[in-house]
A = this chain, B = another copy of it.
Amino acid sequence: MYSFKNDYSEGAHPRILNALLETNFEQTEGYGEDYYTLTAIELLKQKIGRNDIDIHLLSGGTQTNLTAIAAFLRPHEAAISANTGHILVHETGAIEATGHKIISIDVSDGKLNCSHLQTALDSHTDEHMVKPKLVYISNPTEIGTIYSKDELEQISLFCRENQLFLFMDGARLGSALSSAENDLELSNLAKLVDAFYIGGTKNGALLGEALVICCDPLKEDFRFHMKQKGALLAKGRLLGIQFVELFRDNLYFDLAKHSNVMAGLLRNEISKAGFRFLVNSPSNQLFPIFPNGLIKELQKNYSFIIWSKLDADNSAVRLVTSWATKEEAVLAFIKDMKNALSLETR
């Protein structure tokens, strides 16, 4: 049984484990003030190409989202999110638990645009309603689509003109930036958004997200917020060492590219076999629409999520590749798919 259920099934890239081993008995400062965390932050600043940003290492996506959004907003201010947004659907009300409403916008492709944002502003007119203040986007989105540079520039401009903070959830940012269709770079992000994070958990780390705060007013006292939300690890070195390893050369993007290449293999062969996709997702998540019989057959050897039922006979499934996905597993999946199809047609 091979799993395409998600991109956090395996441990960490071996270089990371080796680095943990090698540094294991060095005594370091606690709570993210250690040499490795400071080095990781320096490396990230270099990759991003800016020094006037603040970077903090946190453990996971939900933790990063809730800590950041709670820190950035005043009590009456709300976040705007696509209806598929992770904070809206899959975080057990973590943002609301910090006191903030999320304004949901119905979209078909997981992405927000200026027209959506204008609608949200237009429908929030006075003090009887929350005040929209932060725009939450994910890149890639929860359904694998990505933002182009042009799209992001438009949103960014809109946000600045309307005093909205722009926050990008980058739990799978590596996959977005390594996508064949991508034209964004880390350095663009730091100019276009007010804060974003670079996800490690889903791209080779045991755990870890690097939050980048680009906007000065959002920087103040951020470590207080981390501590208050339980997000300051005593052994901060654990995060620091991992990000050093991921960013001291190009490992982070190499891993993301591998993930995308594996997804590309699947995408091509599934397309060739005549199947459509729920959405065009040029990153490491695919949503092919399969006949239920084929799904049953594939489930014998592969685990994956059934995303949605389309009609009585067909369903969309989610296939996720990762830095650790083995090419032979992908090839086997393709072969099994083809075999199942040829059996069916006989």
Contact = CB atoms under 8 A, between A and B. Distances in A.
Contact of A227 (B11, B94, B227, B238): B94
Given A201-B234, A230-B67, A234-B207, A92 B224 contact: yes
Interface in A10-24: 10-12, 14, 17, 20-21, 23-24
Interface string A34-62: 00000000000000000000000001111
B129 A89 contact: yes
A210 to B, nearest CB: 16
Given A75-B70, A90-B129, A10 B30 contact: no
A9 interface: yes
A159 interface: no
Contacts of A89: 129
A96 B100 contact: yes
A122 interface: no
A257 interface: no
A9 B24 contact: no
Contacts of A94: 227-230
Nearest to A322: B27
Nearest to A89: B129
A219 interface: no
Interface in A196-238: 201-202, 206-207, 221, 223-235, 237-238
A75 B101 contact: no
A76 B225 CA distance: 6
A131 B230 contact: no
A127 B11 contact: no
Nearest to A4: B27
A9 to B, nearest CB: 4
Interface of A: 2-3, 5-6, 8-12, 14, 17, 20-21, 23-31, 59-67, 70-71, 74-76, 78, 89-94, 96-101, 104, 127-131, 201-202, 206-207, 221, 223-235, 237-238, 324
